[in-house]
Amino acid sequence: MKNIDFSKFADKFIDDAHNLLNELESNLLELEQSPENMELIEAVFRAMHTLKGIGAMFGFNIISEYTHHLETIYDKIRERLLLIDHHIVETTFNSIDHLRNLLSDRNLENKEVALRHVALLNLLSEIIIKEPVIVGNETESISEKNVKISSWYIQFVCSEDLVKRAVNIEFIFQDLSKLGTYTIFNHSDEYNDTLGHLEEMWGIILSTDKTSQDIEEVFMFVPENVKIIPLVDDIPVLSDNRKADLCINDLASDFEISVPEVQIVKTDSVERDRVTTINKTPRISVGADKLDKLMYLVSELFTTRSELLMATKSSDLPAIKLAVEKVDKLSGQFRKNALSIRLVPLRELSLKFKRLIRDLSKQLSKDIDFEVKGDDTELDKNLVDSLADPLMHLIRNCIDHGIETPEDRKRLKKPSAGVIRFTAYQSGNYIYIQVGDDGRGIDVNTIRQKAIEKRIISQGSNLSDKELLDLIFLPGFSTAQSLTQVSGRGVGMDVVKRSITDLRGSIDLETETGVGTTFTLKLQQTISIMDTLLVQTGDSYFTIILEEVEICGLESHQKLCERQNSHVEVSGELVPYISLRDAFAIDCHIPETERIIIIKRQNTRFAIVTDKIIGQYQAVIKPLDSVLKTKEYLSGASIMGDGNIAFMLDTWKLSKHSHKQTINS
């Protein structure tokens, strides 16, 4: 065999397989609610088929063999010979978990994974050998449709060049599965001797009712790596209608993907808990639009570079200034594009939570609706990966000890289905993530009593409600009457808080007895570039996210002093305001006329009063250091061209302060 490094392909396959399994899991959640949806059934089948094919191609034979069983089941379902039921859906979900484990234990070296593998194969085999049930009299199965099926032999040369070109093989085989069914085999060493030392030949047998042009479109980005030949009686037919000397069985080391016989044996029930997988270097899937933008910027940079060199040689000062302005503009766009590549939407997490909530609701016999808002908010990939475990722990707590049983909710005149809410939004350089429920809430009096029993506080301690709520983040502190296998509210909350703190974030808790509980996580982007409005108060500079600025105006300092309840009138509406001079205790000369900036965020309006508006400013926002990060109304800082520091205002905190100030006055 050639000395080709297929480990690069294996790593790529693992990444693509994880994405494919996530997509499969999402489709399966929908299919569970709409079992008659043929589009979803086809999507699940294609995912199985693709995973089987590319798994065999890159040496993940156990995954390929296992997925073949799943593919057989869903082929029967789409042929309407088998009905989707709870058992099939549950087994498929367990199979998805198992396939994730096989990606890090491809040879079944882990005993627990191996036992689970046998148990699940038994379940799949039991489903496959069921007597077929014809669903409907008028519905024609896919195999019975009056279509002409043709077979094609496809030579696919796999090379390291595909890795360098970032060709996504998963997408190729996903598109191929839409044309029909296929099997993949590896040619013998002798057949591969005709290739280069960094190449290997794979054979694909495709059965489809599509034309050769349809097949060519699938491989349109790698035409030099592919040959497509029609088959007649399992023999390739050349372009001049001559049959090849060798039949396909001679070319292939294994024409069909082998599926070992599986004996049905008695095993313990399949556990739901997932086996811990091996950590690997994280990869980021980057949208094509971002890469297209990057390539455009590179071409523009080289063009501008040529313009600058020519202008410099001819000492054309106006042309030099124009080229420098272009370079300055391009550098800003480069920074923005480069940083955006690291950002991924929080949708990656919300999809995982749907599965978690689905499993726990069944396990605890609770009806739960999952409401998601703002999961298109983007966050650094490393932060997203690190947030998965603490957020899952919060959701488990909300379900287990927050949401009441259907009977209790009925008695409390609540809807029988509880609600878990996942909300995310950005303010300044901060990302806020909220996880909440509409359950029983946390009783602060219960917390006080538990704290006294545990001798955390004394009998006469006079703590505020917030200080009492913060006690649940202490190690081992719990208000749960009894612990369950799922969680105990308070148990592990210290770990959650430590995880968030390690990410330079914070966690707050709001609760109301009988109404529900909400956890709010506040996290800083590692670094970001934003279009802002630059303002000045005294000798201090501040930036405000430009898209939050609704309108700017003027008001005399005297009139502001005369107004009651800290409000200004805007278009006939009274809007609360906060002065930056007062908020940051800035001692400076007060101008006769001050600038009013109306901020609108999440349907809430308030005003910021400052001395001077400098103008639009593209700020590279960096996190605050340990000295400044305790400042309540700041979310980051940017170094300006003259060396001064401009602080990013946390408009969410300023908004809360302005409205609280209004209530108090």
Q: What per-residue confidence (pLDDT) applies to 263? A: 38
Q: Which residue has the higher pLDDT, 401 or 435?
A: 435
Mean pLDDT, residues 33-61 taken together: 87
What's the confidence (pLDDT) of residue 190?
59
pLDDT digits over 345-390, tens only?
888 888 889 999 999 998 899 999 999 999 888 888 888 888 988 9
CA gap 53, 46 in Å, rounded: 10
How would residue 628 be classed by pLDDT, with cut points 50, 70 and 90?
low
Percent of the chain clearing pLDDT 90 (strictly above): 23
Q: Give, for 56, the enclosing helix (H) or strand (E).
A: helix 38-57
Q: Above 50 in pLDDT, residue 659?
A: yes
Average pLDDT over residues 70-87: 90
Q: Which residue has the higher pLDDT, 413 or 342?
A: 413
CA distance 578 to 597: 10
Rounded CA separation 586/595 (Å):
16
Residue 243 predicted with pLDDT over 60? no
- Given a cut of 70, is residue 627 above it in pLDDT? no
CATH for 7-251? 1.20.120.160
Report domain 346-524's class.
Answer: alpha beta
Residue pair 40/30 in contact (Cβ under 8 Å)? The answer is yes
For 12-129, list the strands marked E by DSSP. none
Query: Are residues 623 and 636 in contact, defined by beta-carbon separation less than 8 angstroms?
Result: yes
Fold of 528-664: SH3 type barrels. (2.30.30)
pLDDT of residue 488: 44
Q: Is the pLDDT of residue 4 over 80?
A: no
The span from the CA of 536 to the CA of 614, in Å, is 7
Domain ranges of the chain: 7-251, 308-341, 346-524, 528-664
Look at residue 484 and tell me whether its pLDDT is greater than 80: no
DSSP 352-409: HHHHHHHHHHHHTT--EEEEEE-TT-EEEHHHHHHHHHHHHHHHHHIIIIISPPHHHH
Question: Is the pLDDT reported for residue 572 higher than 90?
Answer: no
Q: What is the pLDDT of residue 266?
A: 40
Asked if the model's pLDDT at residue 249 lies above 50, the reply is no
What CA–CA distance (Å, rounded) separates 454 from 457?
8
Q: Are 101 and 271 in contact, with CB atoms under 8 Å apart?
A: no
For residue 142, the model assigns a pLDDT of 46
Q: Are strands 549-556 and 593-601 parallel, antiparallel or unpaired?
A: antiparallel
Instruction: Return the HEC string of 525-578.
Output: CCCEEEEEEEEEECCEEEEEEHHHEEEEEEEEHHHHHHCCCCEEEECCEEEEEE
Average pLDDT rounded to a whole number, residues 28-44 = 92
* Residue 196, phi then psi, degrees to nearest 5: -70, 170
Of 142-156, 185-199, 537-551, 573-587, the range with the lowest mean pLDDT is: 185-199
Least-confidence region, from 55-69, 159-173, 199-213, 477-491: 477-491
Q: Output 488 or 660, whichever has higher pLDDT.
A: 660
At 498, the pLDDT band (50, 70, 90 cuts) reads confident
Most confident residue range from 174-183, 302-311, 606-615: 606-615
pLDDT score for 521: 94
Whose CA is closest to 56, among 6, 90, 21, 115? 6
Q: How far apart are CA 596 and CA 537, in angstroms?
A: 12
CA atoms of 141 and 147, how far apart (whole Å): 12
User: Which pLDDT value is given to residue 253?
Assistant: 37
Beta carbons of 435 and 395 less than 8 angstroms apart: yes
Cβ atoms 479, 489 nearer than 8 A:
yes
Instruction: Output 598 or 331, whichever has higher pLDDT.
Output: 598
404 pLDDT more than 80? yes
Which pLDDT belongs to residue 328? 81
Share the mean pLDDT of the chain: 80
pLDDT of residue 626: 61
Whether the per-residue pLDDT at 519 is higher than 60: the answer is yes
Judge if pTM exceeds 0.75: no
- Strands 516-524 and 506-512 come out as antiparallel
Answer yes or no: is pLDDT of 86 > 70.
Answer: yes
Element containing residue 621 per DSSP (H, E): strand 612-621
In the prediction, which pLDDT does 11 show?
76
Q: Is the pLDDT of residue 392 over 80?
A: yes
pLDDT of residue 578: 87
State yes or no: pLDDT of 146 exceeds 70. Answer: no
Q: Give the span between the Cα atoms of 602 and 617, in whole angstroms.
A: 23
Name the 3-class secondary structure at 423: strand
Residue 544's alpha-carbon distances to 339, 536, 551, in angstroms, are 20, 11, 12
Residue 246 has pLDDT above 60, yes or no: no
CA distances from 274 to 99, 102, 152, 395 (A): 10, 11, 40, 17
Q: Distance (Å, rounded) from C-alpha 600 to C-alpha 549?
A: 6
The more confident residue out of 276 and 44 is: 44
Note whether 50 and 174 are within 8 A (CB): yes
Alpha-carbon distance 596 to 544, whole Å? 13
State how far the alpha carbon of 512 is from the alpha carbons of 141, 147, 508, 657, in Å.
Answer: 55, 63, 14, 21
Higher pLDDT, 113 or 252: 113
Q: What angle do CA 324, 330, 335 make, to 5 degrees?
A: 130
Query: Which strand ranges, in their side-by-side order, compose the sheet holding 573-579?
Result: 549-556, 593-601, 604-610, 573-579, 567-570
Say if residue 89's pLDDT is above 80. yes
How high is the pLDDT of residue 510? Answer: 92
CB 380 within 8 A of CB 282: no
**pLDDT for residue 13:** 82
262: confidence class by pLDDT, cuts 50, 70, 90: very low
Distance, CA of 57 to chain centre:
27
pLDDT reading at 567 higher than 80? yes
Kindly report, residue by residue over 367-378, the tens digit of the pLDDT.
999 999 998 888
Helix (H) or strand (E) holding 435: strand 430-437
What are the pLDDT digits (tens) for 93-138?
Answer: 999 999 999 999 988 999 899 889 988 998 998 898 876 665 554 4
How does residue 535 score in pLDDT terms, banded at 50, 70 and 90? very high
Angle, in degrees to the nearest 10, between helices 111-128 and 86-104: 150
Q: How far apart are CA 589 and CA 607, in angstroms?
A: 21
Distance from C-alpha of 625 to C-alpha of 606, rounded to nearest angstrom: 28
- The whole-number average pLDDT for the span 243-250 is 44
